[in-house]
Amino acid sequence: MEVTESRCIEIIRTELVRSGMTDADTLALGPLDWINACDYPAQIFLYENRLDARQLKRSLQQLLLDFPAFSGRCVVAADGIPSIVLNDAGLRFTEQNSALTLTEFLHECRSSTEAGEYTDKIAAFKSAASDSPLLAIRLTHLASGGSVLGVTHFHGVCDGGGMFQFFAAWSKVAKGEIYRAPVFDRSLLQNLQQSFNGTSPSQHDSFPGISLLELMQLFTRVKNLAEHSKRQVIHFSAADLAGIKRRALLHGKRPTRWFSSQDLLVAHLWREICLIPAECDSMRLSYILDLRKRHGFELPEEYIGNAHSIRSGFLTKSMLAQTDVVELAQRVREISDSADPISVGQDMAYLTQRIPGSNKLHITESALYPTETLTVNNLSNLPCYDLDLGVGNPIWYVPPEYPGCRIVHIVPSAQRDGGFDVHVKLGGDEMGRLRERHEAALACP
């Protein structure tokens, strides 16, 4: 057994889990996969009861028969395009003990949302010879009997929506139930771009050219900038959101278009966070939107891949200060609705193009300016608390750690009260000031 010094973690064993079925095929990745091929997001589920490692490994072994990409390895062709070899090299499974009790761990998660030593840290692949696993599971047994399940996956295989399809199937297998087969067919999305080859992107952003190596370096730079950021969770109940809307309607214009409670929450956060830092004269909203259930895309819910669009909005600090939250929520709805098949097809066609005479790809310009961007990942429609692996549902969920200085994850409330838990990452001073503004706003009648 290995004992780490910092947090009294005792590693019991680390091993590879395989399906036992080797496939000679290769999964070709699409443009939405390429631009995420340098990230290994990690998420955490906390269980009140102890998970059984042997049962988890058996269910994973069975599951990999239908999800072979998670047991494969990534390779990079001479033109810089990554793909997945379905060679059943295995996912990594680590079992360990922690000296923390469930109460202590839950307090730590709610105050910092740090994954710490409860998830795997996997460096992005550096060459075609890399043997990095594409999925790593870390099971931690807490001193009080609860368990922490840390899941780290290669973003090039799929996004958060795809991972929750994997989790849904895993839960079914663990309970001996039948699950719906996953869909890996990239042509379902790539068909959107055929009519737009050679066109410019739909958004006003430019898409500068960047090589895969430069993209990896960019991710490293952004992560270094974010090292001193603090992470906390702010709870918004349904009553909190109703109060924000009521106060805005008392002093602002009546809405002219429908918007959701999530739109209102995003608008509130965009406005409040932009007004905090003195060094920013403007704040770009980078909104991550799942395409699976959107009209016109005809994507099955079981699609395992990157099926999201990042839509942008831009307002100066003075404009945000003068715009009430209801009007801004309508602007957020407009940004969300802009992710339609035509605009996404245009963007994918443009992302597929190369810079003449090089193997550089295109990326969104907003990725190059992390300090001026608020990235919002809306996970509120995902079943974050439904991963029952035989001991009941998780009691707390920690979303992935994304590179960036200002990141917001919106997840369903752990209290099941119709509200949201907002996991916010900001600079240290900014986090304290956001808390002050949040508490002051909720105190208003």
DSSP-derived letter for residue 206 is -
pLDDT of residue 405: 74
Distant-in-sequence, close-in-space partners of 130: CB < 8 Å, separation ≥ 6: 73, 74
Residues of the chain scoring pLDDT < 50: 1-6, 126-129, 201-207, 355-358, 362, 365-369
Fold: same for 2-189 and 209-443 = yes
Per residue in 285-320, pLDDT (tens digit) is: 889 889 888 878 888 889 999 998 888 888 888 888
In tens, the pLDDT along 84-118 reads: 999 999 999 999 999 999 999 988 877 665 557 89
- The topology under which CATH files domain 2-189 is Chloramphenicol Acetyltransferase (3.30.559)
Residue among 378, 339, 164, 340 nearest 260 (CA): 378
Domain range summary for the chain, segments of one domain joined by +: 2-189, 209-443
CB atoms within 10 A of CB 167: 21
**For residue 397, what are its two tokens?**
């969920």
Phi, psi at 77, each rounded to 5°: -75, 170
CATH superfamily of 209-443: Chloramphenicol acetyltransferase-like domain (3.30.559.10)
The structure's pTM equals 0.88
Residue 130 has what pLDDT?
65
Q: List helix spans (H) across 82-231.
A: 102-112, 160-174, 187-190, 212-225
CB 315 within 8 A of CB 323: yes
Distances (CA, A) of 300 to 33, 127, 285, 293: 17, 33, 28, 8
What is d(CA 211, CA 362) in angstroms, rounded to the nearest whole number?
A: 8
